[in-house]
Amino acid sequence: MNVESQTITLETNSAPMDMYVARPSDGQPHPGVIVGFELFGLTPYIQRMTNRIAQLGYVAVAPDFYHRSGQQIRLNADDAGRKRGFELLGNLSRDQALEDVGTAVQFLHEEGQTTDKQGFVGFSVGGHIALLAAAHYPLQACVAFYPGWLTNTDITLSQPEPTLRLSNKIADGCEVVLFAGENDNLLPAPVRDEINSRLTTAGVDHQFIVFPDTAHGFMCDERPPTYNPEAAEKAWVRVRDCLAKLHE
């Protein structure tokens, strides 16, 4: 499906926020999907993933959650980029992230080419935000790639209580799919078990898919040391199937 894309700027209560928007070019209404970026910001990789989701028949939007710290922050996945990324992440509170998600949700509701169904696909930090958003907004689908810090309060997004404890607020009918690599240092087996247990106790319709011999960030084809094309392809099929319910 052919798509068209652009970066727009939306007003928020704190500072203007850029948002990358990709949509099918057929002019027909489509469900909306919010895309949450990795630690490195609204990079070309995240824009490509947003386009890829749009090609499946969705209006896909990727908010710049770092907009309060500066405009068009794009970091490299090296030591310097990681250091700066954690500084930016430390400046992003839970309330601010939810405000930004709310701005994206409002845009999709007001957009003339969207239906009333919405989902969220997030990567790493964005996966954390995806689950946070599912606990506060009536999403029908939530996909979280290797979401870290859900079980602790090590980052401001997971404060004042661990985000996982909000699982009982996830709306009935929202399907949650999580992905992780077996060798992910942010999601070792005990943490994965805790996430599964909490979601099960909360009655959340979910699936946690773990790929063997796979590291954190396996979906990103720009980082050969951790990219796993086989796992990435299998995960994408599951993403497609999860989002398909938005068309029902």
Q: What residue numbers bound the domain in which 134 lies? A: 3-247
Residue 114: its pLDDT value, please? 86
Residue 113: its pLDDT value, please? 75
The model's pTM = 0.97
Please state the length of the chain.
248
pLDDT surpassing 80 at residue 108: yes
pLDDT digits (tens, 9 = 90+) for 28-77: 999 999 999 999 999 999 999 999 999 999 999 999 999 999 989 999 99
Q: Mean pLDDT over residues 12-39, rounded? A: 95
pLDDT surpassing 90 at residue 148: yes
Q: Across the chain, how many H-helices and E-strands are there?
A: 6, 8
User: b or e along 98-129 (b: 16 or more beta carbons within 10 Å of the residue's beta carbon)?
Assistant: bbbbebbbebbeebeebbebbbbbbbbbbbbb
pLDDT digits (tens, 9 = 90+) for 180-226: 999 999 999 999 999 999 999 999 999 999 999 999 999 999 999 99
What average pLDDT is seen over the chain? 96
Percent of the chain with pLDDT over 70: 100
pLDDT surpassing 80 at residue 83: yes
pLDDT surpassing 80 at residue 145: yes
Q: How many domains does the chain have?
A: 1
Residue 222: its pLDDT value, please? 92
With vertex at residue 106, the alpha carbon angle to CA 100 and CA 112, rounded to the nearest 5 degrees, is: 135
- For residue 22, the cross-strand partners are 5, 60
Could you tell me the CATH number of the domain that includes residue 50? 3.40.50.1820
